Amino acid sequence: MGNITIKLLAKELNLSTAAISKALRDSHDISAVTKQRVLALAAKLDYTPNPYAGSLRRKKSKTIAVVLPEVADSFFSLAINGIEEVAIEKGYHVLIYLSHENFIREKAILKDFQSGRVDGVLLSISAETNDIQHIQDLCNKDVPLVFFDRVCNDIPTAKITTNDYESGYAATQHLIDNGCRNIALLSISNSLAISNKRMEGYQQALKDNGIEYDAANHLLCSNDVLKNNEEIKKILLRKKRPDGVIATVEKLTTAIYLVCKELQLNIPNQIKVISFSNQASANILNPSLTTITQPAFDMGKAAASILFKALEKKNFILKNESLVIPSTLTIRESSTNS
């Protein structure tokens, strides 16, 4: 195909490749006239520089990686939007990787980044991740890393989170204010910081209201939709049936609604529901869903912005740049007395 290279431009204009390179990068080593000639020919021949040649020489790829547990979730979809927006603006490219909540995959993905493939990484860890050696290893190779949402506290770097503890507390308090005394909490992990913080907020709110925490009210859900449904059903069929449910992740909402429908439990009269969710459809559910909405887009944007600061300025200390962007409670019908 004989692609257009700097060499070709050089030969055509009787210049050295160095001159072409400099002209294209607007070095003031090159006369205005020559620059014009180079630019004109480059435009005419539709020259596009080979990114990998440059990356090899400069040891910079102008690429970042985004590692997510999954993307079939409004939160991560919106986060990607935020990330991409900043990346495009800064002239960076975005590689996307899904861990599918699988530790082995996450490890393999991060391992590859030791090659210099990317200049920086945005990471939201998988629910399975307990061992953090692979993250440690990456940081030891001086690859800038920013966590967002699902962070790992033992790694000293920037973390963009939302106020999970306060949100857990607020959700619980809201249900209590609306008469609930027996509140179930559905989560997806016992090790993720976000899960734990939401849980702690929940427990503190119970305590502050003189309600004893009942471990039977805590359900750890999996990736298996059917199994989750069964477990939720079991909880709602208990003698001491919960009068409120908090779903700490979006995807559990459907399960709750369906089980309630099946069991003919009226939301909100018999049981009140609140979800951590970014679904646009919360408003039009039956009944409309009270949500804790995370600032997904802004979190993505913030994470990317901070990463780019680290990429642009040297001596930028990532670990000083953590940021907490608050979630918002939107009260709708599913949690209030009609």
Query: Which tokens belong to 235?
Result: 């909880």
Q: Segment contacting a copy of itself (CB under 8 A): 6-14, 24-32, 109-117, 203-211? A: 109-117
User: Which among 271, 128, 250, 282 has a CA at the least distance from the CA of 186?
Assistant: 250
25 binds, among a copy of itself, DNA, none (CB under 5 to 8 A by kind): DNA
141 binds, among DNA, a copy of itself, none (CB under 5 to 8 A by kind): a copy of itself
Question: Omega of the bond prior to 242 within 30 degrees of 0, cis?
Answer: no
CA distances from 184 to 162, 171, 231 (A): 22, 12, 12
Tell me the pairing of strands 145-148 and 158-161: parallel
Q: How far is the CB of 289 from a copy of itself (least distance, A)?
A: 9
Q: Confirm or reject binding of residue 261 to a copy of itself (CB under 8 A).
A: yes
Question: Omega of the bond prior to 287 within 30 degrees of 0, cis?
Answer: yes
Q: Binder to a copy of itself among 16, 27, 36, 114 (CB under 8 A)?
A: 114
Residue 57 or 239 with smaller CB distance to DNA:
57
| Chain position carrying tokens 């700490």 | 248
Q: Binder to DNA among 43, 46, 57, 142 (CB under 7 A)?
A: 57
Residue 47 or 202 with smaller CB distance to DNA:
47
Q: Confirm or reject binding of residue 222 to DNA (CB under 7 A).
A: no
Q: Binder to DNA among 12, 39, 41, 49 (CB under 7 A)?
A: 49
Using CB under 7 A, count the residues that bind DNA: 31
Q: Binder to DNA among 43, 46, 59, 338 (CB under 7 A)?
A: 59
Q: Rg of the chain over CA atoms, in angstroms?
A: 26
Q: Confirm or reject binding of residue 208 to DNA (CB under 7 A).
A: no
26 Ramachandran zone, left/alpha/beta (phi>0; psi -120 to 50) = left
Q: Confirm or reject binding of residue 53 to a copy of itself (CB under 8 A).
A: yes
Q: Confirm or reject binding of residue 102 to a copy of itself (CB under 8 A).
A: no
x/- binding map, residues 124-163, to a copy of itself, per CB under 8 A? -----------------xx---------------------
Q: Confirm or reject binding of residue 96 to a copy of itself (CB under 8 A).
A: yes
Bridge partners of 67, per DSSP, are: 97, 123
Angstrom distance (rounded) from CA 296 to CA 88: 18
Query: Which tokens belong to 175?
Result: 């249900």
> Which long-range contacts does 107-115 make (Cβ < 8 Å, 24+ apart)?
107/134, 109/65, 109/67, 110/67, 110/134, 110/135, 110/137, 110/138, 111/137, 113/65, 113/138, 113/143, 114/138, 114/141, 114/143
User: What interhelical angle do 6-13 and 32-45 show, nearest 10?
Assistant: 120
Q: Confirm or reject binding of residue 314 to DNA (CB under 7 A).
A: no
Residue 50 or 136 with smaller CB distance to DNA:
50
Binding residues (CB under 7 A) for DNA: these are 3-7, 14-19, 21-22, 24-25, 28-34, 47, 49-50, 53-54, 56-59
Binding residues (CB under 8 A) for a copy of itself: these are 1, 3, 46, 48-53, 55-56, 61, 63, 70-74, 76-78, 80-81, 84, 88, 93-98, 105, 111-112, 114-117, 141-142, 251, 253-254, 257-258, 261, 279-281, 283-288
